[in-house]
Structures are given as structure tokens and as C-alpha cells.
A and B are shown apart, each in its own frame.
Chain A
Amino acid sequence: MTVEVDTKNLIIHIAEIMINELKLEDVTPETFDPEIDLVDEVGIDSMDLATVALVIQDEYGIRIDEDDYPKLITIRLIADYVEKRLKK
């Protein structure tokens, strides 16, 4: 079974998770640049990224591999990953 995914909404929802989980300020889900480097430019570290990965797994009912989440360093990359997993 394949699942239709609205990429724009997916990006906004992931941004929302990011903002809520990491208590980010001065940004909204709509204004969060999906290309921004979360590590270099937002200052997110491995524990934050692991936390977000756990929440995204729950939210979308997908499995994220432990080796994969450290590479998901932009919202766009996370969205692409979720999309691929949902379509599997």
C-alpha cells in the first residue's frame, strides 16, 4: 500500500515538532526554513536530534534506524526520510 503525502504539510508538522520538543524561540512552523542546518545554524546536538527522532517515529508510525537519524540535519531531510518510509 502506498500513502499519499503532502510534503508542504509534512514539513510544517515536523517544524512544529521541532519547535515544541526543543522549545525553540523566534520561529513558527511556517517560517522555519526547511533547508537550515539544524546542527550548524540552530545549534541542535545529538541528544536533541535523538529526541526529535523518537517523537517523529511515534507521530508517523515509522521506524527510524539508529544509524540514520544523525544524518537528518535539516527539516527537508527529515521530511524526505519520513516520506520514503511512509511510502514503503
Chain B
Amino acid sequence: MALPRKKHENDNQDQSENRWKFSDLVEDPQIGDRWEKVRKYFFLRESTYDMTNRCNIRCEGCYYYVGEKQFAGENRDPEAWRRLMQGEKSRGITYVVLAGAEPSLVPELCEVCYQEIPLGAIASNGIKRIPRSIDYKIHISVWGNDETSFKVRSAKNMLLKQIDNYKGDPRAVFVYTFTRENIDEIYEVMDVLAEHECRITFNMFSAPVGYEGPLRHTEESLMHTRKAIMKLISSHSENVLFSPYNVVAHTHSHGLHDLFTCSYPRMNPSTDIGLGRSFRQYRTDLTWDRDVACCVPDTDCHDCRHYAAGSAVVTARLFRHATDPDTFKSWLDYVDTYLAVWVMGYEKGKNLCDYPVAPPGHDIF
């Protein structure tokens, strides 16, 4: 089945030729309103933090237990974390992502982070509930149906446990990671999540460095995933936080770096401005290393289609998307989705562009 799409006048052309004036783009009331809505959040400046080197499950293809970061010692002193957060705030960080290995095991440290920097998200497997007093977004990882979860993560009844912990919780976003092997399982998982009125976004398995196992995507599995997500955007629009442009960006035959030029320090030598200047990825011992700093360290950059990476990398490319109404609407949909997934209280609007549009300078898929 071919995906519906309109011919884009800039496809395969130098975009400078047909570039619209920015003032004309935002004059369209729909575009102008959405632009004003998202630009209020341009102040967000993120860094990420590994909270503990422990986890209550072991998953195949886990990013944490690859590379050097897993061997860093743990700093479990809440006051040391408080001082770190105060320092982060003073250098302009306004948003924190608490990740590896499993932050729910150290709620006292998460609490300190929240007290100092009140905007953020926690990446969790959802097995242990994070106290409600920590008002960050909570991203609950789902890697297939319960049978697959048991196989890949050695955890029984995982989805039901996750729903039991987070049903009705406005912090919760379920993040379904598509691997090469679990694509069609999304339909049953989606039905269960929708039945419990949970919200879901999508992630693409992006191989850790050196990983050549069965979860790694191929062109065929990317296309298969693309079709599945497009169906779900139509059938479950109340529950799904995603847009057709998210589908383009994350299931393209090129990874995010090749499409948009990754702006995280690991791939970006410039320290002039943006993520290259301010982003740090702290290990559990509160050290960081610019050479390996990105949102999901130890991912193979050329296979990176990670949702967290896109949230920063696509969003940062405002300038190149302000070329024509379809491309700019698509970018606005992407940013609107990103904010709904990552920022407490932000509500996603209706997608402005309901068909896939080519990324600037590239073919559509």
C-alpha cells in the first residue's frame, strides 16, 4: 500500500529557489497560532543524567549496559545531586532528562532534581511507580506484547504492571519501541493502552555500537513500521502522540544524523551555540565527557532514529523547514508532538499536515 502524499513543489530542488517569506508563512492563522504556541518553549535547554547503574530487569539491546558509562560508580548522596542541579541551573539548563539505568530505583535523587529544576522527564521501565510528588513526564518503555517482553526483557505481565502503575497519571507517556521483530504486535498493545486511556508515542530501535542482532531495522522493517504508525495515527488519534512528519523523520532510510545533522556534542564539534554548547550527559558518578555526549550514548550514530534524538535534532532545524507551508506545518507538528511528549501540561494540537512531506534536501523516504 502506498502512503497518501501530495507532490511537494520543492521535492528534489534547491529549496532556496522556491522559499517563501517567513512573514507570509506565519500570516496563515493556523500556522501563526501554532508557531506562537510552540515558540514559548524555545527557552528549554536540556541535559541528561544517568541516575543509578542498577536496573530491575535486563533487556536485549539495552543502551545503558554498553560502553564505559555502565562502569561509573554511583553517587547516592542527595546533597551532591542538589549541588549538581544548582550548578546546572546556573549555567542555563532548564530541562532535565533522568535516564539510565532505572531511575525509579532512586526516587530520592529524582526528587532532588525536581526540587531544583522543575521541568523534565524520566525514562523508566514502569515496573516500579515513581512518587507522584515528582511532577516530571514519565516515559514508560514498551518493547512489544507481553510474550515478547518476557523473551526480550525477562519480565512477566509487563504491560499490565505498567498500566496498573500509571493509568490515569498525566505524567505518563508509553513509548513503544519498534524493533524488526515486534512491528505487528503494536496493534494489540495499542488496543490495550487505548482501553485504559493511556497515551503513546513511538520510538525506533537504533542499534547500539557494534550491535548486529535481530532487533536492528532493515529498509523493509522501516517501511513496515511506517505503514503501521500511519494507520494508528488515523485510528487512535486521541491516544497517539505522533505526526506524519515524525513518521518521515524516524522511518526514513537515512538516520537522523544523515537527514538533519545531529547537533549533540558527540557529532557536533561546535561549542558556539545550541546543544553543542550547553548539552551534557552525566554519568552516575556525576562526571561527563563531551566526546561521547548525546541523548542515548553508545548508539550507532548512522542507525540513530531514536525519539529522544529527533526531539532535539529535528526541532533545532527551524531555519531549514521555514521554506513553504507544507514543510513548515510538518515541522510545527513535529515540535508540537515533542512538547506534548516531554513537557508537563502541554497539550498536543491536531496535526496541521496530515500527509508525509520530504525532509529538506532529501527524498521523502
- A→B interface (CB under 8 Å): 39, 43, 45-51, 53-55, 57-58, 63, 66, 69-71, 73
Contact = CB atoms under 8 A, between A and B. Distances in A.
Contacts of A57: 21-22
A70 B270 contact: yes
Contacts of A43: 92
A66 B270 CA distance: 14
Contact of A47 (B16, B19, B318): B318
Which of B19, B39, B319 has most chain A Cβ within 10 Å?
Answer: B319
B23 A46 contact: no
B187 to A, nearest CB: 37
Contact of B319 (A54, A71, A73): A54
7 contacts: A43-B92, A46-B275, A48-B42, A51-B39, A63-B16, A70-B272, A70-B274
B31 interface: no
B45 interface: yes
A49 B45 CA distance: 15
B322 interface: yes
Given A54-B22, A66-B319, A45 B274 contact: yes
B316 interface: yes
A39 B19 CA distance: 28
Contacts of B39: 47, 51
Contacts of A50: 318-319
Contacts of B318: 47, 50-51, 54
Contacts of A49: 273
A55 B272 contact: no
Interface of B: 16, 19, 21-23, 39, 42-43, 45, 92, 270, 272-275, 277-278, 316, 318-320, 322
B268 to A, nearest CB: 11
Contacts of B273: 39, 45-46, 49, 70, 73
Nearest to B270: A70
Nearest to A21: B39
A49 B273 CA distance: 9
B298 to A, nearest CB: 25
B272 A73 contact: yes
Contacts of A58: 21-23
A55 B274 contact: no
4 closest A-B pairs by CB: A46-B274, A54-B22, A47-B42, A50-B319
Which of B19, B272, B275 has most chain A Cβ within 10 Å?
Answer: B272
B316 A47 contact: yes
A61 B228 CA distance: 43
A39 B45 CA distance: 13
A69 B316 CA distance: 13
A69 B92 contact: no
Nearest to B23: A58
A50 B322 CA distance: 10
